[in-house]
Amino acid sequence: MPHKGSCLCGQTTIELASTHEEQIVCHCTDCRQTSGSAFSTNVLAPKKDVTISGPVKEYSVKAPSGNTVTRVFCSNCGSAISHLTVAFGEAQAIQTGNFSDFAQVPITTELFVKDRWTGLAPISGAAQVKAMPS
């Protein structure tokens, strides 16, 4: 089943032609700052299956890995939409908080658990990955 979502103001829409039955939580500093929370929730979607429409702005930064990460935001309301890096190959990370149906999709992996806030327990049944897998 494809997924459809939008930013906070509704001007930027995201459509995923691919089906996603699991999602990832990331605790890295960049994802925390981008989400404005203790972590971000994401799926890795094939770039060919992603359609982002509406006003967006991009911000690129060098990650600790040395790779450039490009983050995509709604240029009107600032909602985080996506991020891309060569480490993802032909995929891009899509922030799932913009989709109502992802509330029912299980979280199967937690990344950068070395940076997890101490008040947060590991998600039961999710793989616990210290940093970004190589």
Sign of CA pseudo-dihedral 119, 124, 130, 134: negative
In the chain, the number of structural domains is: 1
120 in any annotated domain: yes
Whether 132 has a pLDDT exceeding 80, the answer reads no
Q: Residue 120 corresponds to which tokens in the numbers above?
A: 């947060």
Quick check: is 122 in a domain?
yes
Q: What is the rounded distance in angstroms from the CA atom of residue 106 to the CA atom of residue 129?
A: 17
Q: 80 with 95: CB under 8 angstroms?
A: yes
Q: Structure tokens of 37?
A: 């929370």
pTM here is 0.91
Does 117 reside within a domain? Answer: yes
Residue 118: φ, ψ to 5°: -60, -25
User: The domain spanning residue 80 has which CATH number?
Assistant: 2.170.150.70
pLDDT digits (tens, 9 = 90+) for 60-101: 999 877 889 999 999 999 999 999 999 899 999 999 999 999
Decide if 134 is inside a domain. Answer: no
Please give the structure tokens belonging to residue 128: 């616990």
Residues 23 and 42: beta-carbon distance below 8 Å? yes
Q: Is residue 107, in this structure, part of any structural domain at all?
A: yes
Look at residues 133, 134, 113 and name the one whose alpha carbon lies nearest to residue 123: 113
| Letter string b/e over residues 75-85, b meaning 16 or more CB atoms within 10 A of that residue's CB | ebeebbbbbbb
Residue pair 42/95 in contact (Cβ under 8 Å)? The answer is yes
Tell whether 33 is covered by a domain. yes
In a domain, 133, yes or no: no
Q: Which domain holds residue 12?
A: 3-128
Which residues fall within 8 angstroms of residue 16, CB to CB, at 6 or more apart?
2, 3, 4, 43, 45, 49, 50, 94
The reply to whether 101 falls in a domain is yes
pLDDT, tens digit, for every residue of 95-124?
999 999 999 999 999 999 999 999 999 999
